[in-house]
Amino acid sequence: MSGTYNDIGVSSEGHVGVVEIQRPPHNFFDNSLINQIADAFEAFDRDVNIRSYVLCAQGKSFCAGADFQNRPSTGSAAESGKHLYKEATRLFRSKKPSIAAVQGPAIGGGLGLAVMPDFRVTCAEARFAANFTRLGFHPGFSLTFTLPRLIGQQKANLMFYTGRRIGGEQAVEWGLADVLVPLADVRKAAMDLAKEIAEGAPLAVQSTRETMRRGYADAAEVATERELVEQDWNRKTEDFKEGVKSYAEKRVGNFKGR
């Protein structure tokens, strides 16, 4: 199976499927990467032997978001964003429980990718941030729906408005992650949780998950449509250009409100 993908490794261990993002060190995403992950998830859904799956990553970061330094800020980028988030909605329609093994930073759209699965296993060294406003544009990847659902509206507002990073320990305290282990054990702990889920009767687990997440994918898609409208005009502003530049230069943005 893994031979059909360019940027991910796909394997299985018993009843657990594994998707490994292979764009180290930071695993920046684009349409192609999200498409490949969605293809792999859908293949797992069709495989009666697979009962749960783990999303993990090589390198320092789980996913540091989109690489804006190597993408245009207007025009084709806006159209690319539409296709990317349409691909992302496929992930929310997966049918089996999934666990993200977050061993490092999950930033911006990378945070959206990390909160898409049912559970997250992480470590103290991990960092979680919705840094969109620091870049001069609106949150995406359905985070305006998924993040408040996990940590509550006020904490989500705090992350969105400030763009601050929180570590793995605080992520678990807030409910953003579920299991905290040493860095070296993140992937193993994610696999252990996936195996524990896979011990249940698969049809019962999947039907329970469908009930618990009923309407989830549709709501995520509605949020995406709203986010795209806001991102489209944000990308055309001077502040967005400054946000990308200042973020690359690791300084506070000199925003003008235009």
As a whole number, mean pLDDT of residues 196-214 equals: 98
pLDDT of residue 71: 53
pLDDT of residue 135: 94
Average per-residue pLDDT in the chain? 92
Assess if residue 65 is contained within a domain: yes
Token pair of 226, please?
Answer: 């709203």
Assess if residue 220 is contained within a domain: no
- pLDDT, one tens digit per residue, over 151-166 is 999 999 999 999 999 9
> For 144, phi and psi rounded to 5 degrees?
-65, -15
Distance CA 205, CA 186 (A): 24
pLDDT of residue 169: 98
Question: Whole domain around residue 46: which residue ranges?
Answer: 2-184
> For 181, phi and psi rounded to 5 degrees?
-140, 170
CA torsion, ordered 156, 159, 160, 161, to nearest 10 deg: 120
Assess if residue 27 is contained within a domain: yes
> For 58, phi and psi rounded to 5 degrees?
-80, 165
pLDDT surpasses 90 at 87: no
Assess if residue 145 is contained within a domain: yes
Assess if residue 34 is contained within a domain: yes
Domain count, the chain: 1
Assess if residue 194 is contained within a domain: no
- pLDDT, one tens digit per residue, over 67-85 is 765 554 444 444 455 667 7
Assess if residue 224 is contained within a domain: no
pLDDT surpasses 80 at 107: yes
CATH of residue 102: 3.90.226.10
Assess if residue 189 is contained within a domain: no
